[in-house]
Amino acid sequence: MKKHSLLLPILLFILPALSFATTPLDYCERQLEQDLKDTYSVETLDEYRGHLREVLRHSRKTLRDYVDADDGSVPVPLPIVRDILSAEEDNRSTKEFIDNLRTKYSPSPQLALRAEDFDAFASKVLDSATVADWDRCKTTCSECLANASGRQNGISYRILGDRKGIFSITFTYLPERKTDPNYITVSKVTVTGSGVLNEPLKIRRNKILHRYNRTTQTFRRVDPKTDVAIRIDFKGREGLQLLVSDRRPEAGLPVGTVLSSILPWEEYARVANDTLPYDPRLNYWAPCDGRDIKGSRLQERTNHAKAPDLRGVFLRGLNKFDLDESESKAVSGKQRDPGPRDADGFQGDNPGAHDHVYYGDRAHDKSAIDYVHVQHTENGVWYSGDYQQTKERPTGKNPTGETRPKNVAVHYYIKIN
C-alpha cells in the first residue's frame, strides 16, 4: 500500500493517557487482508508479505519442483506459489518483473520487501477480482468508512467507500463447522437510521447465499450525520447486525497527538489528505486554535469539546505522564511545575520571586552623592546591607515588549479522529 509521509520538520507530542501502538492497517489494507484470509488462509497481511519475500529467495525451477512434489521444501503455502508461477506463465512482463526483484533482493537475503515492491508484486500475482477491488479502494479511500470489515455468525462483510451518499457492503457466507449447510436463505432485511436499500436489490427475502460466493448490496444514506443500522435475518440461524457510520476509520497516529508544521491549515489538510471544509466528525486533524471538536473521537476520549488553543504559547511537559510512575522516578524539583496541571491546561506568565540588589558608594567628603556607583564594599557611608527593591525602575536601556527566549514560529495540529 502507498504510504503518505509528510516531509516536514516536525516536533511530536502525545497527550497523557494516550500511547503509541502498532500502526494499524488502513482500510484498504484491511480489505486486502480479508481477501487473503479467504483465499490463502493466511492470518495477516504481514504474513503474506513474508511469503512473497520468501519466494524471491528461490529460483523458478526450485518453486516448480516444490509444486510438483508438494514436499514442503519451500516454506510458503502451495497455493501462493502455484498462483505466482501461473501469473508468470500467463504474462511475460510479470515473469521479468519477478526476475528483477530476485536480482534486486539477492545481495541482502534478510532485507524485507519494500512497500512499493510489495504493492507491485501482489498486484501482478493476485486474482484479478481481488486486485480490482484493491485498486478501487485505493481510489476512493479518502471517503472510507469506519467498521470496514469483519465477520458475524459465519457471514463475512466488507464495507466499500461512500460516494455521494451511496455505499456498498459485500457479504460472503463462510461455513464455520462441518455441519453447516452449503447455502443459507435470507428471511428478512431491515435498514433503519439514516439509510435505505438502493436498487438493484441483491439482498432480499428468500435470497440464497451460497458458501464462499460474494453478494454485494448498495445502500443510500439519507442523513450523512446519522448512522445506518442494518439487520439481516436468515432462516434457521442467527443473523447479522451492522451499524455503519460515515466517519472515517481511525488510522496512523493515535488521537490526541500534537504535531508542529510549517504549513498553514488548508495546505496541511490537503497534504494530509484531510477533509475541507473542516468537519470535526470527519477530519483526522484540527488546528490547535480552540475550535470546536464535538463529535470527534478525541472528544469521546477526553470530554473536551474544543481543541487546545496553542496559538502564541510554548508547550511544557506535565509533572507526570504515567500516573503511577512505576517505570520512572518522580520529576526533580529543578524542573518540576509548581502547580497542579491538566493536559490542555493554560498557565499564565509569572515573573517568580527574585531579588534586585542595590549598592551605594562612599560620599567622598560630599554632603550628597551625585550618582550611584556599583561597588562591593561595606565601608561606604550609606551602605547598610542588601534589601529587596521596593521602588519601580525601568530595566537598563528601557527595552519594550515581552520577555522570551529565541524561538521559531510553527503551526500546531492535533489528531482528533
Least confident of 50-59, 156-165, 227-236, 388-397: 388-397
pLDDT score, position 101: 94
In this structure, of 40-54, 219-233, 334-348, 380-394, the range with the lowest mean pLDDT score is 380-394
Mean pLDDT, rounded, of the chain: 79
Q: Is pLDDT above 70 for 402? A: yes
376-397 pLDDT tens trace: 555 444 445 555 555 666 666 6
* pLDDT, position 162: 63
Q: How confident is the model at residue 275 (pLDDT cuts 50, 70, 90)?
A: confident
Mean pLDDT of 253-259: 91
Question: What is the model's pLDDT at position 15?
Answer: 38
In whole angstroms, what is the distance from residue 113 CA to residue 105 CA? 8
What are 10-40's pLDDT values in tens digits?
Answer: 333 433 333 322 333 455 777 788 889 889 9
What pLDDT does residue 132 have?
A: 83
Provide the pLDDT for residue 78: 94
pLDDT bucket at 151, cuts 50 / 70 / 90 = confident
Which phi-psi region, left, alpha or beta, contains residue 413 (left: φ > 0; alpha: ψ -120 to 50)? beta
Q: How high is the pLDDT of residue 40?
A: 93
The mean pLDDT of 63-74, rounded to a whole number, is 93
Return the pLDDT at 207: 96
Which range is most confident: 41-45, 142-146, 205-209? 205-209
Give the pLDDT band of residue 251 (cuts 50, 70, 90). Answer: low
Query: Between 111 and 353, where is the model more confident?
Result: 111
Task: Pick the more confident residue, 79 or 246.
Answer: 79
User: Of the candidates 34, 26, 48, which has an alpha carbon nearest to the alpha carbon of residue 157?
Assistant: 34
Choice between 381 and 154, residue whose per-residue pLDDT is larger: 154
Least confident of 203-212, 255-264, 345-354, 380-389: 380-389
Higher pLDDT, 228 or 227: 228
- Taking residues 279-293, what's their average pLDDT? 92
Structure confidence at residue 367 (pLDDT)? 55
Rounded average pLDDT over 150-165? 80
Please check the confidence at residue 139 and state whether its pLDDT lies above 80.
no
- Per-residue confidence (pLDDT) for residue 141, from 0 to 100: 47
Please tell me the predicted confidence (pLDDT) of residue 289: 95
Higher-confidence position of 377 and 347:
347
Q: Which of 2-11, 67-76, 243-252, 397-406 has the weakest average pLDDT?
A: 2-11
Above 70 in pLDDT, residue 46? yes
CB 84 within 8 A of CB 55: yes
Check residue 356 and give its pLDDT: 63
Cα separation, 171 vs 159, in Å, equals: 9
Is residue 364 predicted with pLDDT exceeding 80?
no
**pLDDT score of 96:** 94
Q: Which residue has better confidence, 57 or 145?
A: 57
Q: What is the pLDDT of residue 373?
A: 53
Q: Which domains does the chain have, with CATH numbers?
A: 8-20+257-350 (no CATH), 29-130 (no CATH), 144-244 (2.60.40.10), 354-394 (no CATH)
Average pLDDT score over residue span 248-277: 85
pLDDT at 308: 93
Residue 25: closest CA among 48, 52, 46: 46
Q: What percentage of the chain has pLDDT greater than the value 70?
A: 75
